[in-house]
Amino acid sequence: MIIIKSPEEIGKIAEACLVVARALEYLRGLVRPGVTTRMLEHRADEFIRDHGAVPAFKGYRGYPASICTSVNNEVIHGIPSDRVLREGDIVGIDLGVFKDGFFGDAARTFAVGSISPEAEKLLKVTEEALSCGIENARKSRRVSDISHAIQKHVESNGFSVVRAFVGHGIGRSLHEDPQVPNFGLPGRGPRLSPGITLAIEPMVNMGGHEVVVLDDGWTAVTLDGTLSAHFEDTVLVTDDGPRILTQETDKS
Ligand code: MF3
Ligand code: CO
């Protein structure tokens, strides 16, 4: 069942999302060769709590950290560790918070120093695919219009979309209905209406779409070892189109 949010609830979700947006911008400034993913974890945890929120992922189904840090061939759910980021790596940082009863969730993939032109293209296409999806988060469209727009942009650029994980509704729970796949035919699934909040999150592989989960029970990696990128925003469907809640620049 999709929960339509009231203006009051939307205000609280927006507050949580603002902490997410600011935390990710803060982390962007810390990503450089030589830092460990654990250092990013500590800084993120501290930033989130300093801003009156609680990390949403820590303890969620037993997840052991406040953020996910997924490096290179890691798709999502990489666990922060003593791994040192090297020049040329890409690192996906996924971050969720809980504040005043509501969740916000977003992810970015950052370049570590200078990266290959192919990796640059992967980041660009994945971020654009998120935009294509968001563009379809409009009233009277359907969930799979988002999915289809994402898949089309990714595949027309020669990459593949991960199918094993999907985006989701978000609000009082981190994961609510509906599921938001990153692939599929248009015109399917629930119809969108104002007050629906969605976490849209394309995961894009340079090679094939298949993923495997490592023995740690969390880290999803590409089956073929190719690079993978992940961008996510929490988005509100309004009467006048999509409003991105996890970008501070969107003040509409
Ligand atoms: N953005 C991801 C999601 O919405 C992050 C979840 S990580 C977990 O599913 F640790 F909380 F599972
Ligand atoms: Co999410």
CA of 110 to the centre of ligand 1 (A): 18
Indicate which atom in ligand 1 lies nearest the CA of residue 68.
7
Spatial contact of 144 and 184, defined as CB atoms under 8 Å apart: yes
Ligand 1: atom nearest CA of 56 is 11
Q: What is the pLDDT along the chain (252 residues), one digit of tens a residue?
A: 999 999 999 999 999 999 999 999 999 999 999 999 999 999 999 999 999 999 999 999 999 999 999 999 999 999 999 999 999 999 999 999 999 999 999 999 999 999 999 999 999 999 999 999 999 999 999 999 999 999 999 999 999 999 999 999 999 999 999 999 999 999 999 999 999 999 999 999 999 999 999 999 999 999 999 999 999 999 999 999 999 999 997 544
b or e along 173-209 (b: 16 or more beta carbons within 10 Å of the residue's beta carbon)?
ebbbebebbbbbebeebeebeebbbbbbbbbbbbbeb
* Ligand 1 binding residues, C-beta < 6 A: 57, 60-61, 63, 68, 77, 94, 96, 105, 107, 168, 199, 232
Mutate to test the pocket of ligand 1, among 58, 63, 165 (most ligand atoms within 8 A of CB): 63
Query: How many CB atoms are closer than 10 A to CB 143?
Result: 26
Ligand approaching nearest to the C-alpha of 64: 1
Domains, the chain: 7-244 (3.90.230.10)
User: Among 17, 20, 54, 57, which is best to mutate for testing ligand 1, by the most ligand atoms less than 8 A from CB?
Assistant: 57
